[in-house]
Amino acid sequence: MNEPAPPPTSNKGPRPQDLDAAALQHQARRLSRADQPPWLHAEVAGRMAERLGYIKLRPGRVLDAAPALGASAELLRLAYPDAQMLWHETDALLAARAAEARSLNWWRRLRGASMGQVEVLPARPEVDLVWSNMALHACIDLPALLEAWQASIAVGGFVMFSCLGPDSFVELRALYARNGWGRPAPDWWDMHDIGDLVLKAGFADPVMDQQRLRLTWASPDSLLADLRALGGNLAPTRFGGLRGRGWRQRLMAELDTLRDAEGRLALTLELVFGHAFKAAPRLTVAAETHVSVDAMRASLRKGREPG
């Protein structure tokens, strides 16, 4: 009897931004057991929250996408204390972590704050804000996710997100290439490419920008520990075998070459930020036009709003 072929373990398509699906699942399993979200994510969440002040809309329903590692729940609660807070995780283990974190938060339960789980996207009923902190660079199919977000947002609502950019850890890329060690990380999506995908997904008026941070460490051990806390190497083209003790010793020696004038190990980090709105659908005129009732109602409501 022929047994069915095993499912594919990686997503090795033509795009350089593709990730290894098996490695992604392994890292999600490891990170779900961590005591707290990655150290960088809380910092980036704070920078994202500062941008909410530029948005006039006061959302009544907020969806925190990938909250288990996003470190954003309290920031969103402070920004929108009267909003209904929802959350969604694509990975089952991270969803379990997020659910446990909310069940243990007695202070939030005492205040009666609503933190419902959205198990499947698109969210129904629609939300006014989809928020995603430091998750898109670990997404297997970014175009599909953006389309699901767009379908989850009510007309007039918006999405706000952050992720790693392609210039992150460029020093490691050169170091690995010099030693023939494969890729230390995927080729993450460029800011402009993400903006194009946001438009293609149906959003309007995307605003994209990036920031560069210079991170320093005193020792190779502390550098590697912090990088491990952020997640593992998800590049399909990474070295596929097991690394030995000799390789680690050589890696530590190579990392020592990254010291700056002050004797600190230095790496570059690129952060990509973006937000966009969901506009009312445009009705095209043709000999025969098919329009959903929901789209027609949204368009009529938009036309009645005062200018």
pLDDT in tens, 171-211: 999 999 999 888 899 989 999 999 999 999 999 999 999 99
Q: Please report the DSSP string for 127-155 in residue order.
A: EEEEEEES-GGG-S-HHHHHHHHHHHEEE
pLDDT for residue 273: 98
Average pLDDT, the chain: 86
pLDDT, residue 283, reads 59
pTM of the model: 0.82
Q: What is the dihedral of CA 19, 23, 25, 31, to 10 degrees?
A: -110
Q: How confident is the model at residue 282 (pLDDT cuts 50, 70, 90)?
A: confident
The answer, yes or no, to whether residue 270 has pLDDT greater than 60, is yes
pLDDT-derived band at 235 (thresholds 50, 70, 90) equals: confident
**What does the alpha-carbon distance between residue 146 and residue 104 come to, in Å, rounded to a whole number?**
31
The domains found in the chain, sorted by start residue, are 21-166+188-212+271-304 (3.40.50.150)
The helices-and-strands tally (H runs, E runs) of the chain is 11, 7
Residue 51 has pLDDT above 70, yes or no: yes
Percent of the residues in the chain that have a pLDDT greater than 90, as a whole number: 66
| Helices 170-179 and 245-255: angle between axes, nearest 10 degrees | 130
More confident call, 113 vs 261: 261
Q: Retrieve residue 47's tokens.
A: 């920078």
What is the pLDDT, as a whole number, of residue 216?
Answer: 96
pLDDT at position 291 is 59
CB 280 within 8 A of CB 298: yes
Q: Give the residue from 203, 207, 71, 41 showing the smallest Cα distance to 137.
A: 41
Q: Which residues contact 306 (CB under 8 A, 6 or more apart)?
A: none
The string of pLDDT tens digits covering residues 4-36 is: 443 444 444 456 788 999 999 999 999 999 888
Residue of 86, 90, 50, 47 whose CA lies nearest to 69: 90
CB < 8 Å & 24+ apart, contacts of 24-31: 24/138, 24/140, 24/234, 25/91, 26/232, 27/138, 27/231, 27/232, 27/234, 28/91, 28/93, 28/94, 29/93, 30/232, 31/68, 31/69, 31/94, 31/231
pLDDT of residue 2: 41
Residue with tokens 């929802």: 86
| Band of pLDDT at residue 254, cut at 50, 70 and 90 | very high
Average pLDDT over residues 130-141: 96
22 to 36, 69, 240: CA distances (angstroms) = 23, 19, 12
Output 288 or 144, whichever has higher pLDDT: 144
